[in-house]
Structure 1
Amino acid sequence: MAGGGIDTRVSHRAASYEYKVTRYLIFSCIVGAVGGALFGYDLGVSGGVTSMDDFLVKFFPLVYERKHSHLKETDYCKYDNQILTLFTSSLYFAALVITFAASHLTRKKGRKASIIVGALSFLVGAIINASAQNIAMLIIGRILLGAGIGFGNQAVPLYLSEMSPAKIRGAVNQLFQFTTCAGILVANLINYFTDKVHPHGWRISLGLAALPAILMLIGGIVCPETPNSLVEQGKLEEARRVLKRVRGTDNVEAEFQDLIDASKEAQAVKDPFRNLLKRKYRPQFVIGALCIPAFQQLTGNNSILFYAPVIFQTLGFGSSSSLISSLVSSSALIVGTLVSMALVDRFGRRGFFIEAGSEMIVYMVAVAAVLAKYFGHGEELSIPIAAILVAAIFLFVFAYGRSWGPLGWLVPSELFPLEIRSSAQSVVVCVNMIFTALVAQLFLASLCHLKYGIFLLFACLIVIMCTVVYFFLPETKRVPIEEIYLLFENHWFWKNYVGQRHQDTLAEPEKLGESKPAHA
């Protein structure tokens, strides 16, 4: 299998796996849920806080003055302040830097270690942010929150994946994305109420991030280590014991032997990052590690999630109505994720990418057209026009929530063979955080200078993304993860790079699900 072939032994063993839904599995889901909610809460809370008058008066008085100015030239530029946007983006720059350290700790010391370190870092960051007296304390707190997210995003999805039985792994993995969306929604709800608490409502919003951090810390301490990690650490008997408990059966030898074999093969690869650059892995590297995580951020959706209250206030909504509007958009994200969880294995990854992406293009053009005609003249939008904008943004986020949001994490996790999977995941997280941080840092300045054109820019980028998916991403639904490389060997373009190295083992297309060339 290290050479890319099909290990039929694994398939035979997998057929004899047994499992029950045990309390350990339920507990691992709870840990994952808390980890996702923690990440989502921080995604959602920052935009609401940066739109609160009390927060702006204390830290950014010039932005506060521009916010309440009715001069025509400030319509798009009320929040154009690089230090203010650094308050949001510093978290993602920190997560980017810490990703590789988190990967090392997760691999060497186990998933629990990273969960605990991440929870502690996030807890301290939340306390510092809630008690901040100056901008330096704000940024330091955000950096610690970012470190916590770096560790949590590395370890929690991996913990969920390894604790889950193979037959329900997809649904359990999407739980992290779902609870991330739920965390965004809860943050917007809290912001709506704390906006009315003067002068320290923003402190309550930032400080409440400590609650999920404490729950995640407790979960990380009391939860069992994954059998996969224990095998990696050479603790074979403990791994077998945990596997029996988490599967609810003593008949685990087939799965246990597969864990041992997989660990040996992974350890045989001395330099996984160099292996990742080999020609035979180029399709997965280009599509899975570079394009999809970058595209996920370049849709513009996270700009809307980060700055929803800011955007709506910029467009003339009052403080309370802007928070309500951002609450609507975060609700759309949850509904979209539920749709994706229910239907993605029926309609496929490419179908959701392209169909939802096409809708997103229409909604971004609609937003740009409305703003070009009705906004930027020093006057507030009328209620009907404002309603059209909210509806377009709701539908945009709903489309993202069932496509580029969850699938931006799911598809890369499916593409990579075992021998480069861990190193590839580090690159996926790294690329994602690079573009998350850049978009967070540059969006408000771009809104100021490009005005409604920023939404046309996002529409053009989504056209490019859908085109790349249509021509270069094969369909992976229902394809065994260790056989996905065959899709690239049969692909109209990628076969020129990877060739057909295993002619004698190639399966018929119908046995590999949607394994026809992506453009067919």
Structure 2
Amino acid sequence: MEKHDIAIKMNKSYTVLISLIVALGGFLLGFDSAVISGAVRGITVYFEMTDAMLGFAVGCVIFGAMAGNLLAGPMADRFGRKSVLIVVAALFAISASWSALATGYTEFIIARIIGGVGIGGAILIAPIYIAEIAPPKLRGSLVSFNQLNIVIGISVAYFSNYFLVNLGEDSWRWMLGVEAIPALIYFLSLFTVPKSPRWLILKFNKVDLARSITAKIGGEAYAEATVAEIQGGLAKKEKKGRLADLFQSKYGTIMTIALGVAFFQQITGINAIFYYAPTIFEQAGGSTDSSFLQAIVVGLTNLVFTLVAIWLIDRLGRKPLLLIGTTCMTIALLLATLAFNNATYTFDQSTLNKIENVELRDKLDYLDGNTFSSQSELFEALEGKLDNASFLDFKRNQITNFISVNATLVLVAILLYVAAFAISLGPVMWTLISEIFPTKIKGIAISVVGFFNSLVSFSVTQIFPWELTNLGPTTTFALYALLSFIAILFVYRYVIETKGKSLEQVEELLIRP
């Protein structure tokens, strides 16, 4: 009995090790996504960006991810999950190095898009690989390793930005370039992991090799049962899935769940929070240093509650976590809305003197002694008093000098929002879509859903700077709160539970006759 227990532990350790290596792609994804938040001010000045240019510079990585989404699934089906991840690691290294050395706006965008292609591949293929090698009782936790690594990457990026921000006007180059180091480590470590047993059987019918890999994971008996189940599932498939297959009525439930969860994961604003965390805290009146420090707290909160999600996902289940998380997200966004709605804007000599631009300060001097109860009221008072360039400078760079807001409530709201996302839509979405698609259509389906997810994310990050500048934080967070509430209703109505079921059992549960 003792030997048997040791063997199980060794097998489990082997599976965990493989999953952690593959999930390093998530680390790079998270790092790449969050590191730009610290570089925003530097790249805005260096490349002389407008709001639209900044939005695209930040969001173009998602534009690249959409291309990666479309390519990753079919390429993974053709060349294997492992091969695609090796290419992904190389793309991260190229992007990090090039974006750090860029001297022109177009060159910088191209480098960022290359990294985006890597993100599109990593975010889809790493969960697929892990789901295909993991035993059913561990699958939720192991697939969540990818999300764990994403949030570790985000946290490390915030720490890195905090320690590099004072290196001078070129600090943004160091922030972006340091990512090349973990990218190289990921590239080399991927050569040590085996190929997916399911892919080996599907693509080449290499049953013996698949059985030997699976035996290392769970022993001979587990290997025999798993291989037989894979073969039984594949025997039902007549041909490789095509894009048109996704629109068949029998896949209606699967596509509704996948596209719905993918939509709400991004439309509720998570990437806007991560990409612009320091900017949000500056909107609440914080200094540059304190806003970077608060961004670190956001990253650590994300990390801690992702660990909670990994502990709960195979115990509590996918749907309960989604319901709890989206409810708390809605509450958090309403708190942020309340905090900014109660903000006031005070103009006196002490606040006016914070503006270094003497010409702009003189134009605003007539407001001395005035206090405004909302941003819209302030903007009405400024209408016609400033030219377009001065008004844009005020909205983007100077308004934080005059705001008085409950900064503690803003911080609590953001931390609650991030914690709620980290136990729900963050890890659960990727776990669900790695589970619910049958092998026949998995590659093409994952690509379509990932592309859609990235498209929504790109839209959110592209318009967020415009929203903060023109709608103000109150309306922006109110819109996200409404969308988060709709997400609760969607999860309650459509999402089903997959906890503890094999991939083949999930397929039988979801596909309509």
CA contact (8 A) 1:34 1:215 kept: no
Instruction: Give the structure 2 partner of residue 146 of structure 1.
Output: 116
Q: TM-score, normalised by structure 2?
A: 0.82
Quick check: 1:391 aligned with 2:362?
Answer: no
CA contact (8 A) 1:20 1:247 kept: no
SS in 1 for 2:188: helix
Counterparts of residues 338-487 of structure 1 (less than 5 Å): 338-375=307-344, 376=375, 378=399, 380=401, 385-451=406-472, 452-484=474-506
Quick check: 1:46 aligned with 2:36?
Answer: yes
Instruction: Give the structure 1 partner of residue 95 of structure 2.
Output: 125
Residues 392-433 of structure 1, C-alpha deviation per residue, up to 9 Å, x if partnerless?
111111111111111222223333344333332222211111
Using the TM superposition, give the Cα deviation of residue 241 of structure 1 relative to its aligned residue in structure 2, in angstroms: 3.4
Using the TM superposition, give the Cα deviation of residue 305 of structure 1 relative to its aligned residue in structure 2, in angstroms: 0.9
SS in 1 for 2:11: coil
Q: TM-score, normalised by structure 1?
A: 0.81
Using the TM superposition, give the Cα deviation of residue 382 of structure 1 relative to its aligned residue in structure 2, in angstroms: 7.8
Using the TM superposition, give the Cα deviation of residue 197 of structure 1 relative to its aligned residue in structure 2, in angstroms: 0.9
Counterparts of residues 293-312 of structure 1 (less than 5 Å): 293-312=262-281
Distance in 1 of aligned mates of 2:510 and 2:230? 26
Quick check: 1:59 aligned with 2:47?
Answer: yes
Instruction: Give the structure 2 partner of residue 108 of structure 1.
Output: 78
State the identity %: 29
Using the TM superposition, give the Cα deviation of residue 180 of structure 1 relative to its aligned residue in structure 2, in angstroms: 0.5
Using the TM superposition, give the Cα deviation of residue 263 of structure 1 relative to its aligned residue in structure 2, in angstroms: 4.0
- One-letter amino acid matched to 1:256: V
SS in 2 for 1:82: helix
Using the TM superposition, give the Cα deviation of residue 380 of structure 1 relative to its aligned residue in structure 2, in angstroms: 4.2
Q: How many residues get paired?
A: 453
Using the TM superposition, give the Cα deviation of residue 265 of structure 1 relative to its aligned residue in structure 2, in angstroms: 3.9
Using the TM superposition, give the Cα deviation of residue 175 of structure 1 relative to its aligned residue in structure 2, in angstroms: 0.5
Distance in 1 of aligned mates of 2:248 and 2:222? 39
Structure-2 change in CA distance of 1:363 and 1:321 (3 Å): same
Of 139, 152, 170, the match for 2:140? 170
Structure-2 change in CA distance of 1:456 and 1:144 (3 Å): same
Counterparts of residues 10-49 of structure 1 (less than 5 Å): 20-21=10-11, 24-49=14-39
Distance in 2 of aligned mates of 1:179 and 1:238? 29
Of 256, 259, 279, the match for 2:227? 256
Using the TM superposition, give the Cα deviation of residue 108 of structure 1 relative to its aligned residue in structure 2, in angstroms: 1.1
Using the TM superposition, give the Cα deviation of residue 466 of structure 1 relative to its aligned residue in structure 2, in angstroms: 0.9
Q: Mean alpha-carbon deviation: is it higher for 468-477 or for 123-132?
A: 468-477
Residues 296-338 of structure 1, C-alpha deviation per residue, up to 9 Å, x if partnerless?
0011122101110122223321111111111111222112212
CA contact (8 A) 1:38 1:212 kept: yes
Structure-2 change in CA distance of 1:277 and 1:394 (3 Å): same
Counterparts of residues 85-234 of structure 1 (less than 5 Å): 85-234=55-204
Quick check: 1:317 aligned with 2:339?
Answer: no
Q: Mean alpha-carbon deviation: is it higher for 413-422 or for 83-92?
A: 413-422
- One-letter amino acid matched to 1:85: G
Q: Mean alpha-carbon deviation: is it higher for 340-349 or for 442-451?
A: 340-349
Using the TM superposition, give the Cα deviation of residue 251 of structure 1 relative to its aligned residue in structure 2, in angstroms: 6.7
**Unmatched 5+ residue regions in structure 2?**
1-7, 345-374, 379-398
Instruction: Give the structure 2 partner of residue 73 of structure 1.
Output: none
Using the TM superposition, give the Cα deviation of residue 455 of structure 1 relative to its aligned residue in structure 2, in angstroms: 0.7
